[in-house]
Structure 1
Amino acid sequence: MRIIGLTGGIASGKSSVAGLLEALGAPVVDADQLSREAVKPGTAAYAAILDLFGPDLISADGSLDRERLGNIVFSDPEARKRLESIVHPAIKLLAEERLAELRHGEGKVAFYMAPLLIEAGAVDRVDEVWVVYLDAETQLKRLMQRDRLSREDALRRIESQMPMVVKKSYAKVVIDNSGPWEETAQQVRSVWEREIVKPEGRG
């Protein structure tokens, strides 16, 4: 089983690319989904976050108010580090469990989609890295539109992450999502054919 890490910056289009890869036949383990599971009510991480940030973060349904928590940590680097010290180990346990299940399965390839794959030191969980990239101005515009943020708030969130040009240096494959989705989708299909289908055929 070949595990490929799929990453990129905020609003780069990782989920859309992952959806297409899934449609092409690859299972996808989503770190964002794991992060939700890791902090569900009743988990140790949930309790630790409430101890750290207070009960105001509890939503009406008992879950964490992720939007409010995001607003806190994106404006306070120290708070973000404390949150990550709680969440990242919990995600790691879940990720390793899911990836181990896949490695013992019958498939040939799977993707681990993780926005902070590199920042969290999780590159060793995968065999190679693919990066979904877009230029800085396009990233800013898409984030402002997607999350209805001011330019200042969007910049703060982007600047809290590793620069996209640095992430590219870790990549075996770069998928440029700066243009229309149709162009990106064609790139993904071409990469799939070149990197996944043809190597299997040669084997």
Structure 2
Amino acid sequence: NGLAIQEIKDSFGADYISEDQSLNRKKMSDLVFHDKKALDQLSLIVHHYTLKQMSIYLDQLKASGEKVAVLDVPIPVKEGFLDLCNIVWNVTANEEIRLVRLQNRGMSIEDAKRRIMIQMTPAQYSELADIDIDNSYDFDILRKQVNQLLEDSLGARGLPYKKI
């Protein structure tokens, strides 16, 4: 979130900001996935600005007459994100699949395991959700699950939605 850059710079130092004034994602991830306090600090900063932007966006949608909005939030926060939602879907996959997917994105097995260990557990995510979606298979299966849930949740109530 570009709005958070100055606060990140103030909290972590200029080394974590690239020459183009964007977040140095590699350096920051090396820090926060080895230091829980740093992760918590970064999360506080980013969530503050993200929530502010999401609220503005949702207000604009509401003012334009939109009845449905989907928020793609990797880390739901009880106070804030969840307060904005009528229904929460948790998309998850088993740990083996998650590890493979992280490695396919260029991450070492050690870093992938560390990232998974520092995150909320699948049970904690599930506790926050109204619906759990298993993404341990291919994208076509996920798409079918999501489209069925859209139909069940929105279509059945006459609300507009687009299939994915």
Q: Shorter-chain TM-score category?
A: 0.7 to 0.9
* Candidates 92, 102, 111, aligned match of 2:51: 92
Q: Is the 8 A contact 2:135 2:142 kept in 1?
A: yes
Structure 1 residue 38, shift from structure 2 partner = 2.7
2:25 maps to 66
- In the other structure, the counterpart of 1:102 is 61
- Stretches of structure 1 that go unaligned for 5 or more consecutive residues are 1-35, 40-45
Q: Distance in 2 between matches of 1:118 and 1:82?
A: 14
- Asked if the contact 2:33/2:118 (under 8 Å) is kept, the reply is yes
**1:1-203 equivalent positions in 2, closer than 5 A:** 36-39=1-4, 46-118=5-77, 121-146=80-105, 148-200=106-158
Larger strand percent:
1
Offset of 1:89 from its aligned partner? Answer: 1.4
- What is the deviation of 1:115? 0.9
Q: TM-score, normalised by structure 2?
A: 0.87
Aligned residues: 159
Unaligned residue ranges in structure 2 (runs of 5+): 160-164
Asked if structure 1 preserves the Cα contact closer than 8 Å seen for 2:76 and 2:82, the reply is yes
Q: Distance in 2 between matches of 1:109 and 1:189?
A: 15
- Higher normalized contact order (CA 8 Å, seq sep 6+, divided by chain length): 1
Alignment correspondent of 1:12: none
Q: What SS is found at the alignment partner of 1:109?
A: coil
Counterpart of 1:89, as a letter, is H
Shift of 1:73: 0.8
Encode CA deviations 1:104-159: one digit per residue, 9 max, x unaligned.
Answer: 2322211111111136652111111011111111111111212x112111111111
Tell me the residue number matched to 1:43.
Answer: none
1:57–1:65 contact (8 Å) kept in structure 2: yes
CA contact (8 A) 1:74 1:157 kept: yes
Corresponding residue for residue 9 of structure 1: none
RMSD (CA atoms):
1.8
